[in-house]
Structure 1
Amino acid sequence: MAATTAQSMGTLPSGVEICTTAPDIFYLPELVFGGLVWILVASTHVNPQNPLGWVMFVSVFCFVMTFLWMIIFAAGGHKSSSGWAAADFVYHFLAVLFYLSAGVDLAYITFQNKAGDSKIYKIDISAVVFAFAATFLYFIHALLSAIRWKHF
């Protein structure tokens, strides 16, 4: 019989397994794309403050929480309980809602500022693209987390 690295859907991974199992393989791309949104928005003048402040909050909050979530999973702090599987789904679903609202706000502000500085406009467009890419990654993670939670 051949050895397999597949994991049953009724358990939560720990250690290096989070880099090889779905949905946990999405932690690193979520951090990269969310960090890029954070960096790109912060590199321009945050004007108007209200919608772009929300974008900054979402990107920083999701970056920090995803990093902590990844550390907890890597350290095995979840003890493979169904409560953690449910919390994983809830967190990633909320991150989808947050990033979707932040991406729409950012796209609207970027569209309004298209007549301004070309360099800042291009940076804002990049931030919009990365915000929606992060939204998509969090959506896939939430979907796969819901499936895993269902099989617990």
Structure 2
Amino acid sequence: MGTQGIQIPGSFEVPDIPSGIDILRKLPYAFILPEVICGGWVWILVAASRVLIPVSQGWVMYVSVSSFVFSLILLMVYLFGFHKNNCATWRIVDVIYHGITAIFYLSAACLQANATIVYEQNEGNVFNFNRVTYHVDSAASIFAFITTLLYVLHSFQSYVH
């Protein structure tokens, strides 16, 4: 009575990462453009608000600006096909980058939400409360959480793919 056992394929072919406009049509790479857009909105909104807690909102600015730049570079690499020589390595880079950025963005989103809450709770006490600044901070918090979700989805889809 012989046992079959598990048969391992001789070679494993890594599917190609699309290039050009096809990058915007295939998951998980279709998430890159919304990540860049929402991350840009976080950057713009935090820069437009009054920085009341420099340490927290400085971290939010660092994460949003650096993620914007690196995601834009990654998008250009995929659009222009610079990744074609070694797709397997670029897949690993994609998973690691988006996973780390998702963690950074989650911390930045929580700090931005905390800054918004502190600003609202000190209405009239320490800061000159301005309803417009509060709404700008709230919008920055919302976009930071949306961007976090996009990076998490991208990282998870890249890992599963």
Deviation at 1:139, TM superposition (A): 0.6
User: 1:48-99 deviations in whole A, cap 9, x for unaligned?
Assistant: 2111000000000000000000000111111152111000000000110010
Q: Does 1:96 align with 2:96?
A: no
Instruction: Give the superposed CA RMSD.
Output: 1.3
Q: Could you say which residue in structure 2 is the equivalent of 1:20?
A: 25
Q: Could you say which residue in structure 2 is the equivalent of 1:33?
A: 38
Deviation at 1:32, TM superposition (A): 1.0
Runs of 4+ in 1 over 4 A off after TM superposition: none
The one-letter amino acid of 1:57's match is: Y
The one-letter amino acid of 1:85's match is: R
Deviation at 1:28, TM superposition (A): 1.1
Partner SS for 2:37: helix
Partner SS for 2:100: helix
Q: Which runs of 5+ in 1 are unaligned?
A: 1-7
Q: Could you say which residue in structure 2 is the equivalent of 1:65?
A: 70
- Counterpart of 1:110 (choices 103, 109, 116) is 116
User: Which whole-Å CA distance do the structure 2 matches of 1:57 and 1:30 have between them?
Assistant: 15
User: Which whole-Å CA distance do the structure 1 matches of 2:46 and 2:28 have between them?
Assistant: 28
Q: Which runs of 5+ in 2 are unaligned?
A: 1-12, 124-128
User: Which whole-Å CA distance do the structure 2 matches of 1:129 and 1:19 have between them?
Assistant: 24
TM-score under structure 1 length normalisation: 0.89
Q: Does 1:132 align with 2:152?
A: no
Q: Number of matched residues?
A: 141
**Distance change >3 Å, CA 56–CA 143, structure 1 → 2:** same
Deviation at 1:46, TM superposition (A): 1.5
User: Which whole-Å CA distance do the structure 2 matches of 1:112 and 1:50 have between them?
Assistant: 13
Partner SS for 2:50: coil
User: Which whole-Å CA distance do the structure 2 matches of 1:81 and 1:99 have between them?
Assistant: 26
Larger radius of gyration: 2
Q: Could you say which residue in structure 1 is the equivalent of 2:158?
A: 145
Deviation at 1:21, TM superposition (A): 0.5
Taking only the aligned residue pairs, the percentage that are identical comes to: 37
Q: Could you say which residue in structure 1 is the equivalent of 2:7?
A: none
User: Which whole-Å CA distance do the structure 2 matches of 1:145 and 1:78 have between them?
Assistant: 15
